Structure 1
């Protein structure tokens, strides 16, 4: 619901009050600007027909061309859980989120679950983490593999009590019968049966393990709207970020802290692109910004405490109802910062500034507009 999300941003920011504060600041000789941005981002790359059509193929390396994702879920004989995923994290918190998914399906404590990644010998072909796809594709593979293991466990429990799997429910580290909750097995007891053929129902293979490939049926669409308030020092060209608000809809949320952290990180990264980061060469082609002494990146003093909120519209394209979130902040922050700066300088007739908006760039534009 794009319009509802944008309206919520305006209400959260109290846009009317902000405009009054902007006018008051102008009377005091200060230049405040308000910038907004709304975005829609595709994620969950990529359904096989789309990847084939777009030429996203690993066939030159003798590998399948589809951008599926894979997960292996194994209940070990001691009832611990080992999950191998093709989605390799780079700080996104997969170890936590994937353990949460499996814990919810299997009704086992997260402390019993180990997430393994980054070893191509330990898992069938995995594609990886990019394009806001990890939860929507890799997380779904974990979910479906865990469901398959749970279903086999339900068959083992049902065979033990001479009933059908649909009478089995899982909770509190074990399973019980809906018809008689005194008839129950712990996961340790289920695992003991699973690895002892003489204790298994007829026709059930030994072990408790499932490998699941998930091929998404379509692209998931994340959307959001962000707003920034800045103040420009027209004597120096310095742009100060006073307030930043973001409202995002990434579908169902597995771990709110991880989602908020990714949005915060994306905003900071986008701020760096808009305001600081620049590769500079001299006339001889020598790189001048060759270290962090010269290549400026955001630090804590550059950024206020972000105000981030969420709306949740579940995606119908995966059973978790999730969408991507890793890139939202970095998409919104650059145009928000530029728009806010241009709004602050509107009285000078400045309508365009190239990123990054470093002080000397803004100062030069102001002086050019003033004819100096």
Structure 2
């Protein structure tokens, strides 16, 4: 009995000792907290990572480590056990505080890159230049969006080299343009930049004008099928004839000069359609508009300013070219190709915007030789109002 009582007493005392010691051991477990003053940054901004250790002795070293365990900074705790470290992250990162093997819960800091973009050389019917950069410098692709009057026109993705990119956009219509650049890489928040607004000039031009805008004008006329001798910076009589042909087709005043309204018409032109779809290649003359069309496979491929016969002297109908003269004919027709008796298409020094010949189809002297070579005997010509 005495032995049993003694065992019971010893066991009870031991149990009391364990119960009293347990809360003391729990209170002594070390811990470290971590928070960030900012969790979303723009590249170049800083964030302060701070926290507190417990127990809270002074002079303890707390390290800030990233997701790979690399130490990014450290601080010594103050009397309250507090620490703080200022960092400038270059990308999205996850941090923990490490105090002698005791770690905090992770804190994620997200970084938005700085995207800069500019739009220069905005000219109608020519390519505008886009340049820009992403900081921090890196590889990858940037989405570029060209907007006109606030609406998306076109977009493209371009590669960066050392954080820099460049591209070109064609400017097809008048209006206020800007480029928006978007970078959305795996290591960053999406970054966005936009250029200043820029509108293409639409200057007045006429014979004798010399500028980059003449090149833009002639390039657009050529692309629309209006016959020119070339595309350069000089506004010549051939440029004026192409502008006259354009104005005729658009039912505009038949001028050989350019104004702002001409540029706007060039941006949204009426495309002529041939009267006849056969044969596959033929010539048409629209006497109402006073223009000549070269037609291939049902599509107008060339448009030329002409003047037909006054008072109905050029007869509507379907004819076949049957005779040609290289150079001048006896009655001074230049490179004539005949289709109806003595009626021919031929070069002539004066080609007004209205019917003025005796029945022939006058074309500008500079275009006569070229047109003669585009017509074979046996080809068809269709003339109509």
Question: When the two structures are superposed, what TM-score results if normalisation uses the length of structure 1?
Answer: 0.20
Point out which structure has higher relative CO (alpha carbons under 8 A, 6+ apart).
1
Between Structure 1 and Structure 2, whose CA radius of gyration is higher?
2
Question: When the two structures are superposed, what TM-score results if normalisation uses the length of structure 2?
Answer: 0.20
